Chains A and B, each alone.
Chain A
């Protein structure tokens, strides 16, 4: 037991993403600040306890009731350290929020109890996320129900070796990105309590050399049964036609009943009676499931909801298809 304790890095797991190094530097800065303050406080306490231990019933004690200079000093001086911690943590947090433009998107679906990973190629992996070494990966995550009788619940996607974590919400997309720096296999844990199988909701990230990546993910099964479909976006294009979307949405720029969809992704749209929104995956999804929520200025409120009519895969495909429209 003891040997296992010593053999491992005492505080943090291995570093396997670009975030890990900068995270750990901040971690140890705060850690040593904590240690120094702790030793100073408890050391002083022990020193006083020994030095001023009761000697006799005739002990006289100091009339000291405070010291303004000392009190001001210990109120103000540590604040500078706190500001450094805050600013450093802020910087790290922002870098985790903003993925690079060249990141590859992978859709993540959390369910009770496991993870599905859908790649742009249309391949699906279960509980195994395969990513290329040294390339930024952007995860578009949502939680789905396993059966119509049950509810989709909160999960959280956590890879300790990458130092990343983000809650996965029902019927909504949250985004997380990373770039793996080590080949190998790393734990994925669910860290938002999700019921009976919570602790079994364990997956692996497998980091492979970039040249092996396409082959590695295509070893997974194809999520479209008929085997005819290619990429996720192509599947989306098929769905787009089948669900009747072209009746109101052009993909070449004409104004029909609804807005044209080419070039819409990543654009800022003016919204009727609300603040402008940046068109991202979450807005596209919301506009399919709950079209009345945020209507683009100047368009009628005529689109029906597709909630319950499209499968999560179809929504995923539609979103990816719309992203490809220029």
Chain B
């Protein structure tokens, strides 16, 4: 991390051709059996983006059907129900959960630590394979067993759905294993493989976010396995656990489901927070505002996140006392989350802000995630949640958090590290246009859903009362703009591969360790063990002669 490496194409890359991780070995087998964290990250990225495309097309189909309360695409409500189940399950379990950790995390984390790989490279490869098996299994179950329960798989709907829910949960369970593998790998890598001089205080905040995420993955995922075992016992031995006909309690299933799935919400969003911490600093040329607060808040969100699952169940018939406690605990999560947002905005103060594509996505994130986070207040408050629960308001809220937050950060991160991964530059102007289109399309699509929701439009409706039609139509039109923006972003990136300029060694002038090595990196990351001599955000532009008030 010498300061000469900053800002310019000072070493490596341009002149002589050194082999990089992409061309060091060739052939399909060299990819399928690779243990290189960078190749695994790239394959994960390819798989996740493919599923993102499929999930997105399903969303377009769902929105199209909702253009009118009368049939548009199909006259069969159960086909519509399958579409949104598939959309939700793919987006949550195949896209959002693995998205950032498995792709960008796998690629960047060891580089940021100055390590030559993750701690357990073969486990890492196993994680990718297990993910692919789990993904195909889950999709096959949903398609063949006609699961139309929504992604939450609440029991019971019918005798048929009850058996397929066991299989769908098995799919989630298999996918959970791949999460556990990645999480375990990251925890050990972060503890044991940091470059000399890289103290915990010098860890990039992306690494801190990955650390918090990994803890949740390792601790929460076994709960889905327990749930599945209990369901299997119920189906095979007829012990009443969740099925009321056998004397079981369907609300208990909801407890199990959310005990897993609520912490998993933080598995989805924390990595996004990590990316934004990197992007806002590098593109503002500023040290992060409140490093400790951001790092600690990631970990405290991970912990409190385990204690709030019951806020999904205020009207479910759970005990009122439990609801009151869960409401109070939920407000506690608001505090560390707010600290992060305010710290990112404060980081921009006194900077030299580049309006690059990653920064445009960062602006977009701050806008959208602020709405996503703040609208959660009406849902954590007991009395207002009663009215809003299971309406489009909730749908809008979690899309603002999950798509406006996680996926926007993910796309921003892809644009930021694209030159590192591919060695190519993309067209910045079109990159920025994609960010603006996505921003506009997203708001039209989902803001209208807030209004439909507060007015009482329930979610998971194939047809609806006509007073909601204007908002539904606006939302559908927005989804087309959003799709256009996302396809533009995809086009910009694809074009860079096939005709993009060669990227300089360090196009953003970042000073964290992943830019210390060649772009794209060599197969073993670094020629020799790098030494960490400064923090991840000590940019050369920072004027240490200025008082902190400037």
Residues of A in contact with B (beta carbons under 8 Å apart): 1-2, 4-5, 8-13, 22-23, 26-27, 30-31, 33-34, 37-38, 41-42, 44-45, 48-49, 52-55, 59-67, 70-71, 74-75, 78-79, 82-83, 85-86, 88-94, 96-97, 145, 149-154, 156, 158, 160-161, 163-167, 169-172, 174, 187, 189-200, 202, 290
Cα distance A194–B292 in the bound complex, in angstroms:
46
Can you name the residue of chain A whose Cβ is closest to the Cβ of B348? A48
List the one stretch of B42-50, B104-112, B385-393 in contact with chain A: B385-393
Can you name the residue of chain A whose Cβ is closest to the Cβ of B161? A195
Residues on the B chain within 8 Å of A11, using CB: 451, 454-455
| A89, A96, A154, A198, most chain B CB atoms within 10 A | A89
Known: A64-B548, A65-B548, A199-B77. A52 touches B284 (CB 8 A): yes
Interface membership of B22, Cβ < 8 A: no
Does the CB pair A13–B455 fall under 8 Å?
yes
Can you name the residue of chain B whose Cβ is closest to the Cβ of A58? B541
Interface membership of B342, Cβ < 8 A: yes
Contact residues of B between 509 and 550, Cβ < 8 Å to A: 539, 541-544, 546, 548-550
Does the CB pair B460–A193 fall under 8 Å?
yes
Number of A-B contacts (CB under 8 A): 298
Which of A34, A45, A93 makes the CB contact (< 8 A) with B374?
A: A34
Does the CB pair A150–B158 fall under 8 Å?
yes
Does the CB pair B390–A169 fall under 8 Å?
no
Cα distance A166–B265 in the bound complex, in angstroms:
25
Q: How large is the interface on B (under 10, 10 to 19, 20 to 34, 35 or more residues)?
A: 35 or more
Nearest first, the 7 A-B pairs at minimum CB distance are A160-B456, A62-B350, A92-B383, A89-B381, A59-B352, A93-B382, A199-B461
Q: List 10 A-B contacts (CB under 8 A).
A: A34-B374, A38-B371, A38-B374, A61-B543, A64-B346, A89-B383, A92-B382, A92-B384, A158-B458, A191-B391
Residues on the A chain within 8 Å of B458, using CB: 158, 189-191, 199
Does the CB pair B247–A290 fall under 8 Å?
yes
- Nearest chain B CB to A315 CB, angstrom units: 14
Cα distance A9–B454 in the bound complex, in angstroms:
10
- Nearest chain A CB to B375 CB, angstrom units: 7
Known: A45-B345, A75-B335, A150-B159. A64 touches B350 (CB 8 A): yes
Known: A33-B377, A49-B348, A172-B244. A75 touches B382 (CB 8 A): no
Does the CB pair B351–A62 fall under 8 Å?
yes
Which of A2, A63, A163, A189 makes the CB contact (< 8 A) with B287?
A: A63
- Nearest chain A CB to B377 CB, angstrom units: 5
Cα distance A97–B377 in the bound complex, in angstroms:
21
- Nearest chain A CB to B244 CB, angstrom units: 4
Interface membership of B24, Cβ < 8 A: no
Can you name the residue of chain A whose Cβ is closest to the Cβ of B465? A187
Cα distance A89–B157 in the bound complex, in angstroms:
32
Return the CB mask of B47-85 against A: 1 if under 8 Å, else 0.
Answer: 000000000000000000000000000000110010000
Does the CB pair B324–A61 fall under 8 Å?
no
- Nearest chain B CB to A11 CB, angstrom units: 5
Interface membership of B256, Cβ < 8 A: no
Interface membership of B31, Cβ < 8 A: no
Known: A45-B345, A165-B386, A199-B462. A61 touches B285 (CB 8 A): yes
Return the CB mask of B148-159 against A: 1 if under 8 Å, else 0.
Answer: 111000101111
Which of B81, B289, B355, B451 makes the CB contact (< 8 A) with A64?
A: B289
Residues on the B chain within 8 Å of A191, using CB: 389-391, 458-459
Cα distance A197–B454 in the bound complex, in angstroms:
23
